[in-house]
Amino acid sequence: MMSGNYTHIENQKVSGSVPAVTDPGHIPVQFAESNLQTFPPSGAQGKISSGSRPPRDADDSFSKPVNGTDEPQQQGGWLRVFSVASYKPYFDVDTVDVLERIKDSLFPFNGSFNEKTAENPDLYGPFWICTTLIFVAASIGTFVTYVAHKIEKKEWNYDINVVTWSAGLFYGYVTLVPLALYVILKYFSAPSGLVQLFCLYGYSLFIFIPTLCLSIVPLEIFRWIVAGVAGFMSASFVALNLRAHIMSAGERWFLIVAGIFLLQLALSVVLKMYLFTVTW
């Protein structure tokens, strides 16, 4: 009797020491939304968004925020010309854009280059076109003079002045001429974007790259023809793309366009006299 009661008490102690846990059922687990960025972005496609595109007016080129916001910048106004971030939108082009603009420069009579580049003028293409011209001019000129001296069995010495002269000519032309034209158009109340002028003049020089390569042909009349055709195409490309814009300057618009055309044509004459003229 006592053993039975003892067993019953022990069972109660054991059952009381391990309380029963009720099944709470299924508890859903919620995860926070992922903040991982998708590469490449679906909207931008590797390009700067519309809020960061270059300003169309030259006066605002270095005064508006690059990121399209109203946040204060470390440098304001024209002081931003010394900031690398100011130039970032003008180098936001890919290979397709550059090739398309080069192709437009080879068809000067379309006159649609300014319209296509109005929203996104670039400095990437002009920089590399001028740089390529410098090395092509130096290498072609050096090769031609080297062969000419070997044929005549004369001593040949490399002239480093060809590189410095070419750099001063191409970089100086594509910088100073658009800058002077910008001031003139500003004076006649027909302002144009300064960066867009740099872009236009930079791509207008591309035609001289194949022209320099053709100058190795040892025929003087052929060199004059090639230089003349290249100069005419380059001058037509610049003049026709600026004609519609300059017409708003009044009655003197024709003189401005004619000056632009003749100045570009004079560049080809200078190249012919100093780079294409080689005596065999």
What would the pLDDT profile of 176-194 be if each residue is shown by its tens digit?
999 999 998 888 877 788 9
Mean pLDDT of the residues in the chain: 75
Question: In 3D, which of 221, 187, 201 has the Cα closest to residue 261?
Answer: 201
**pLDDT tens-digit readout, 81-93:** 677 777 788 888 8
Give the three-class secondary structure for 123: coil
What are the sequence ranges of the domains in the chain?
Answer: 50-92, 96-276
CB burial of residue 98 (10 Å; 0-12, 13-18, 19+) = middle
The sign of the CA dihedral 39, 41, 47, 51 is: negative
pLDDT in the model for residue 44: 44
The letter for the amino acid at 79 is L
pLDDT in the model for residue 45: 45
Mark the ranges of the chain whose per-residue pLDDT is less than 50. 1-2, 6-7, 9, 12-18, 31-46, 48-74, 278-280
Rounded distance between C-alpha atoms, residue 29 and residue 96, angstroms: 48
Tokens of 256: 């401005």
CB half-sphere exposure, 272, CA atoms < 13 A: 18
Rounded distance between C-alpha atoms, residue 100 and residue 113, angstroms: 10
Rg (CA), the chain: 34
Instruction: Please state whether the peptide bond connecting residue 40 to the residue before it is cis, i.e. omega within 30 degrees of 0.
Output: yes
Rounded distance between C-alpha atoms, residue 26 and residue 46, angstroms: 45
pLDDT in the model for residue 14: 46
pLDDT in the model for residue 179: 94
Furthest CA-CA distance within the chain: 137
- Integer CA distances (angstroms), 255 to 204, 242, 243, in order: 20, 12, 11
Percentage of residues of the chain with pLDDT beyond 70: 68
Tokens of 48: 């700067």
CB burial of residue 148 (10 Å; 0-12, 13-18, 19+) = middle
pLDDT in the model for residue 235: 94
Residue 53 near residue 120, CB atoms below 8 Å:
yes
- Integer CA distances (angstroms), 2 to 8, 14, 211, 215, 269, in order: 10, 18, 121, 125, 129
pLDDT in the model for residue 24: 52
Residue 122 near residue 90, CB atoms below 8 Å:
yes
The sign of the CA dihedral 10, 14, 17, 23 is: negative
The sign of the CA dihedral 235, 237, 238, 243 is: positive
In the chain the first and final C-alpha atoms are separated, in Å, by 135
